[in-house]
Structure 1
Amino acid sequence: MTALRTRRLPRALALLLAAGTALAGAPAASPADAAPAGDIRINEVVTTGDVEDSVELYNKGTATVDISGWILKDGKNGKGDKDGSKYKIPSGTVLAAGAFRAFDVHDAFGLGSDDRARLYLPDGKTLVDSYSWGRHSGPSWSRCPDGTGAFKAAEVTLGAANDCGGGGTTPVAWPGGSSVTNADASHVFGQDLSGLHQDGDIMWGAQNSGKLWRLVRNGSGGWTPDTGGGWRTGKTLRFPGGSGHPDSEGVTATGDGAAGGVFVASERNGDASGTSRLSVLKYDVSGGAGTGSALTAVKEWNLTSDLPSVGSNLGFEGITWVPDTYLTQAAFKDASTGAAYHPARYGAHSGGVFFAGVEGTGMIYGYVLQDSGAFTRVASINTGMRGVMELQWESRAARLWAVCDDTCDGRHRTLQVNKAGVFTTTAVYNRPTGMPNYNNEGFALAGADECVAGRKPVYWSDDANDDGHALRKGTITC
């Protein structure tokens, strides 16, 4: 993400993705007979913020319900109903049992600080459910537990289970030291340093300007550009064939390390900056790639057509690789088949799954990228975050880190595969108390071999280069 990026989350896109658990095409039941209308509940309301004027519905019953033509209205508390303003749910909308569906109602009516949301059957007179409040959501009004409990202030989780303070979703203190120090010399990188990936004594850094850095230890616990092989000022990246300027946001490697190539997540071509191009690019960074100032991708997996549309500057931000060994041992469910993930089904690939995070929606997508250039999406994860700016796989702890920047106060989430075979949040951590709310877009963890007295280093990259520094160092418990 560039330093001047617009921060507002696209409303329609966010709610389109949030609606992913509503199973279109599922056998529909009449709301009047096959399932009680009361099974459909107003479950979450957002009145202000990135996705203001949004209402989520939840099916707490056991049967699919057709909610086509149902009506959402507002109405100030004690000040009469504004029946002329209403939102009609589109035809063909169904909610499976346990499903969530969020609706952006701002074009029909606004939700104020002293207001209420009401749900009616298609006749517009039969009230199904309602919720009133006396102040703006902060940031969300959410039922806890889903569908049956009282409303409380919580994090925005439109289209997913509410954050009710259980299951490790309440933010807790950073699990390491509170102090953070600079990890680079002054004014080395400038702005737009984004994704990070540590591979032993090498740190890879992706810069939005279409540049890849190879960093080595500086002897003071930090990192400095490698001065050999043409890496002194970073190398310019190109798409296959030598064209364009990838907007490089995230970087990772497989279990083979850099010898297996370095993989970069890009959200667009800088030569056509108004058009999304959600790609994963593979670069040969071995000695045989030459000592020049540019690298041309040896392969591109252009995933744009397989993903929901996003703004050209709100696409892929982070990328990481998770080994097949963990996924099979954890009984990870392959979303493309609905069954357990079997790596052999995909033939020659990297030996793992690449997970890419989207800034504009907070979604994480998992892909098997085959050596042939084919790809298959095997996971779509709604993190409940406003945006995902970085992803990192921590192998020893077997957990996936999803990192947000200053728009989320620098919070970090960890995810692991649950008993249902899907990645779910296990913890939410606040940033270290000694670190200001920097625009951190990169995060990397040292390996277990660097543990000293129960802690190991972690690093952040600051897109804004605050105070002339783009890299900072902290610690985390091993």
Structure 2
Amino acid sequence: MTTPIPSRPAGTCPRALAGPVRVGAGLAAATALALPLAGLGSVLAPSAPAAAAPTGASTVVISEVESDNGEPGDWVELANTGADAVDVSGWAMKDDKDDRTWTIPAGTVIEPGAFLVLDEESSSNPTGFDFGLGKADQVRLYLADGTTLVDEVAWTQPAATTLSVCGDQVLTANPITRGEANDCTPPSDTEDPEAPEGPVEPVAAGVVINEVVSDGGIPDDWVELVNPTDAPVDISGWYVLDEDDTKDPSVIVDGTVLQPGEFFVIERDELGFGLGKGDQARLFLPDGTLVDRAAWPAGTHATPSLARCPDGTGDFQLSAAATQGTANNCAAALVISEVRSQGEDFVEIRNDGTDTVDAGGFAIKDDDDTHTYTIPAGTVIAPGAHLLVTGDQLGFGLGGADSARLFAPDGALISTVSWTEHVAPSLGLCEGEYAAQATATPGAANDCVQPDPAAPLPTTGDARVTDQAGEWAEDLSGLDLQILEDGQQILWASNNDAGQVSRLVRAEDGTWVQSEGWPTGGKPSRFPDGTGTPDAEGISAGADGAVYISVERDNDAGGTSRNAVLRLDPAAAGDELVAKTEWDLTALLPATGANAGLEAIEVVPATAMTHLGEVPAGAEACAFVALEATGDVYAVALLPDGQAHLVATMETRLAGVMALDYDPGLNRLWAFCDEVCDGESVQFELSAATVEASARIARAKGLPNVANEGVAVAPAGTCTDGDLEAWFADDADTDGHSLRGVLLTGLECEVPAPPADGDDDADDGADGDSGQSGGQPGEQPGAGDRSATTDRSASTERTASTDRAGTARPGLARTGTDALPVAMAALALLASGGVLLRRTKVGPQG
């Protein structure tokens, strides 16, 4: 007897190795039957007929098929199940190819209850059907018109005997009954009475199941096989099932041979089914013989994995870490519990066992075998304790697409975690699965509470194109809005590839165009010596009339990192903007790749940093800058002679920060990610005693999830009727446009009053004349993009603008009346006292 190949539910598409399918008007559709592990043959439910046969022909069915070179060859048996004779002359038979058609000879009649066997053409039977039946094929019976389907049987592998139709079932291992009634005796009546009860025991066949992961392992559910023998084993056609015999099995492709000691992994998408709690993974030979079984208790998952120890021969046990495609974690109960690959890298090791482990000699590697850190001798980890290995100790950096691997002293891989992009704030092991942590916890228990879903920005849901088609090509990156004393709005923009700076004004239709005297694409910028092409990623207008750009490299030497801030005079004569000052922050900030450095800048008053740290006296300007590689924001004081001081590091928990926006009226900094984070952002309430990132804010509804690397939000003081404008620069120039605007709506427009005299926060700025040039700390509006200052640019044109009561206000028109509700308590987008939900505390740094 053979183990049946499980059937599939009626109406589903058969997968490889799915059993035969019966289709016909003479058979009722039925549900798939789940069989015990032992039985006469595979039982399958017929699917619905492709076309109903006419009355008088519906009694003729395909009753048995030989498709594997039987005696005298392939053959098909028809049966007349009705009470009247049926003339089948001229009826057509086809296999799975429509061009293979054979016509039943004239004068062929099947009497009631009789059988007709149609043989394959041979030397002894030259009039038989002239095509062979394959191992994966079908037989279709049509009326003489060649289009009306009478019956059909399909299969994807040869049967053990024949394909035998029994009522609404098709069996694959029944006795051969050519030209006679099929033997449809139930399996229980033919089983050996001496056969033992209980599940079928596996049969040794060389290859075994070695490791299994269920419930979202990395990557997802999977089954690993291994060949523990000293000879190659061909596993072509072997298949894997979970505990459910009715599912379509996962079949191993032809030509798969496992060499001695070789592993073979069947991924989740290859399995075709998930592995659940209290489930099992079973391995079968092509004929249905059970080879191996791995089962785990009811109510539990195989996580981190269920693994044999030792490999291939030992008993199954829950491992400390999954080791897909490599030796199982049998050496120790050590596991990589947390990793950070941006900012200050670290790898954390945890002892999940019940005994103290000597970790001396264990090695940590990334995805490069030449990058190795060996844990010093004598290092012991108590049960449940952690060992923290910092980036400085590792001696190599962890990249955006990388891995961390832990090896035993004998070279066995015992724990591994991989990622395809930086994960902020860290990647940690929680309930057997690696996931982004709510907070990085180096050297301590992981923070496995997942962040709340990002709350959406309240918008009208519309995003309007606000530039001319093809004006920018690609690489528009930085944006900053400046409001002049006369109320005119200037939008500053930077192009990172060409190093160009643009001064934009509103046109009558609300789009942004170059100011008079500014060329299309903007003016090229240069380093102070007049050379180079600064990679101008971010831009900010200062209260001193200057424009500041953040650059990550000189594009003329693109392979070298040069994280710098340049101060430009936009009113300077000439066609180029040569920097007056350069602050090189490369040594001050974490090291980055040449194309992963400074992405954004916001120049602010010194008072914006009151709760972050001390701003040195004499600072020429203060700014927030952001690094793409770390996703962090850095408060820096820009000192004379190109010197700079790091005031604080502000963790965003975003995978990257591409844009910053500061509102002086609210003393709030907004940090934006691009499509890498689905356009999410966070805010920092700079007046709070403890400054930390807010809950994540989702991308504005209607704004495409593209490379929005620049953001400019109108200041809260311009909010009218709950509406506020914002613009986004698309570095990829999607659909030929780089600049889009949205209307934030349903907002609280009231701006908090400044601190009264004597308030503790009124004079917390730097001493002396620190802060931006031209006034005392706290007197400057700070970010010139929000200031009521006079722009020194030669162009002073204005476009038509009225308040919301007027009729000629160019810009983003509010459309529709279904403005999103004010569900922004958690964000407090434009209200004072924003809610701060995360625990990452920002402190001063030296």
TM-score bracket, normalised by the shorter chain, equals 0.5 to 0.7
What corresponds to 2:198 in structure 1?
A: none
What corresponds to 1:223 in structure 2?
A: 512
Give the Cα–Cα distance (whole angstroms) in 1 for the partners of residues 739 and 514 of structure 2: 12
Q: For 2:617, give the aligned amino acid.
A: Y
Matched, 1:196 2:464: no
User: Map of 1:58-457 to 2, 5 A cutoff?
Assistant: 69=360, 71=362, 88-89=374-375, 154-155=435-436, 159=440, 170-200=453-483, 201-208=489-496, 209-228=498-517, 230-254=518-542, 256=543, 259-286=544-571, 289-290=572-573, 292-328=574-610, 331-332=611-612, 334=613, 341=614, 343=615, 345-350=616-621, 353-417=622-686, 421=690, 423-457=691-725
Deviations 1:105-133 (CA, angstroms, capped at 9, x unpaired): 999xx979xxxx9899x999xxxxx9999
Matched, 1:44 2:326: no
Give the Cα–Cα distance (whole angstroms) in 2 for the partners of residues 58 and 158 of structure 1: 17
User: Map of 1:459-474 to 2, 5 A cutoff?
Assistant: 459-474=727-742
Shift of 1:368: 0.4
Classify the secondary structure of the residue corresponding to 1:268.
Answer: strand
The answer to whether the 8 A contact 1:194-1:462 is kept is yes
In the alignment, structure 1 segments of 5+ residues that lack a partner are: 1-39, 60-66, 75-85, 125-129, 335-340
Q: For 1:155, give the aligned amino acid.
A: A
Matched, 1:57 2:348: yes
Give the Cα–Cα distance (whole angstroms) in 1 for the partners of residues 577 and 377 of structure 2: 50
RMSD over aligned CA atoms reads 4.5
- Distance of aligned partners of 1:210 and 1:419 in 2 relative to their CA distance in 1, 3 Å threshold: closer
Give the Cα–Cα distance (whole angstroms) in 1 for the partners of residues 741 and 617 of structure 2: 39
- Distance of aligned partners of 1:373 and 1:470 in 2 relative to their CA distance in 1, 3 Å threshold: same
Deviations 1:363-401 (CA, angstroms, capped at 9, x unpaired): 322210013322111122332222211111123333222
- Distance of aligned partners of 1:390 and 1:87 in 2 relative to their CA distance in 1, 3 Å threshold: same
Give the Cα–Cα distance (whole angstroms) in 1 for the partners of residues 704 and 510 of structure 2: 20
- Distance of aligned partners of 1:242 and 1:425 in 2 relative to their CA distance in 1, 3 Å threshold: same
TM-score with structure 2 setting the length: 0.39
- Distance of aligned partners of 1:131 and 1:354 in 2 relative to their CA distance in 1, 3 Å threshold: same
The answer to whether the 8 A contact 2:707-2:730 is kept is yes
Shift of 1:434: 1.5
Deviations 1:238-265 (CA, angstroms, capped at 9, x unpaired): 00021111111100123x1xx4311000
- Distance of aligned partners of 1:71 and 1:399 in 2 relative to their CA distance in 1, 3 Å threshold: farther
Deviations 1:342-379 (CA, angstroms, capped at 9, x unpaired): x3x332422xx312111122132221001332211112
Between 1:174-183 and 1:240-249, the stretch displaced more is: 174-183
Q: Which has the higher helix share?
A: 1
- Higher Rg: 2
The answer to whether the 8 A contact 1:317-1:358 is kept is yes
The answer to whether the 8 A contact 1:193-1:463 is kept is yes
- Distance of aligned partners of 1:212 and 1:169 in 2 relative to their CA distance in 1, 3 Å threshold: farther
- Distance of aligned partners of 1:73 and 1:324 in 2 relative to their CA distance in 1, 3 Å threshold: closer
Shift of 1:194: 0.1
The answer to whether the 8 A contact 2:667-2:687 is kept is no
Give the Cα–Cα distance (whole angstroms) in 2 for the partners of residues 398 and 247 of structure 1: 29
Shift of 1:155: 3.0
The answer to whether the 8 A contact 1:139-1:156 is kept is no
Q: For 1:395, give the aligned amino acid.
A: P
Q: For 2:632, give the aligned amino acid.
A: M
Shift of 1:165: 5.5
The answer to whether the 8 A contact 1:141-1:151 is kept is no
In the alignment, structure 2 segments of 5+ residues that lack a partner are: 1-333, 351-357, 366-371, 484-488, 748-829, 831-846
Q: For 2:533, give the aligned amino acid.
A: H
Give the Cα–Cα distance (whole angstroms) in 1 for the partners of residues 568 and 726 of structure 2: 25
Shift of 1:458: 0.7
Deviations 1:81-109 (CA, angstroms, capped at 9, x unpaired): xxxxx96347999x9x99995778999xx
Deviations 1:406-462 (CA, angstroms, capped at 9, x unpaired): 1221111222359774x4211211212312211111111011233122120111000
Shift of 1:176: 2.9
Classify the secondary structure of the residue corresponding to 1:426.
Answer: coil
Q: Structure 1 vs Structure 2: percent identity of aligned residues?
A: 33
The answer to whether the 8 A contact 1:276-1:311 is kept is yes
The answer to whether the 8 A contact 1:237-1:297 is kept is yes
Deviations 1:196-239 (CA, angstroms, capped at 9, x unpaired): 000120010010111000000123333111123x3444101000
Give the Cα–Cα distance (whole angstroms) in 1 for the partners of residues 378 and 644 of structure 2: 30
The answer to whether the 8 A contact 2:609-2:635 is kept is no
Shift of 1:41: 9.5
- Distance of aligned partners of 1:222 and 1:155 in 2 relative to their CA distance in 1, 3 Å threshold: farther
The answer to whether the 8 A contact 2:626-2:633 is kept is yes
Classify the secondary structure of the residue corresponding to 1:240.
Answer: coil
Give the Cα–Cα distance (whole angstroms) in 1 for the partners of residues 478 and 632 of structure 2: 17
Give the Cα–Cα distance (whole angstroms) in 2 for the partners of residues 142 and 395 of structure 1: 28
Give the Cα–Cα distance (whole angstroms) in 2 for the partners of residues 219 and 275 of structure 1: 43
Give the Cα–Cα distance (whole angstroms) in 1 for the partners of residues 421 and 732 of structure 2: 27
Shift of 1:159: 4.8
The answer to whether the 8 A contact 1:404-1:412 is kept is yes
Give the Cα–Cα distance (whole angstroms) in 2 for the partners of residues 141 and 305 of structure 1: 23
Give the Cα–Cα distance (whole angstroms) in 2 for the partners of residues 445 and 91 of structure 1: 56
The answer to whether the 8 A contact 2:426-2:436 is kept is no
Give the Cα–Cα distance (whole angstroms) in 1 for the partners of residues 490 and 510 of structure 2: 13
Give the Cα–Cα distance (whole angstroms) in 2 for the partners of residues 280 and 315 of structure 1: 12
The answer to whether the 8 A contact 1:139-1:155 is kept is no
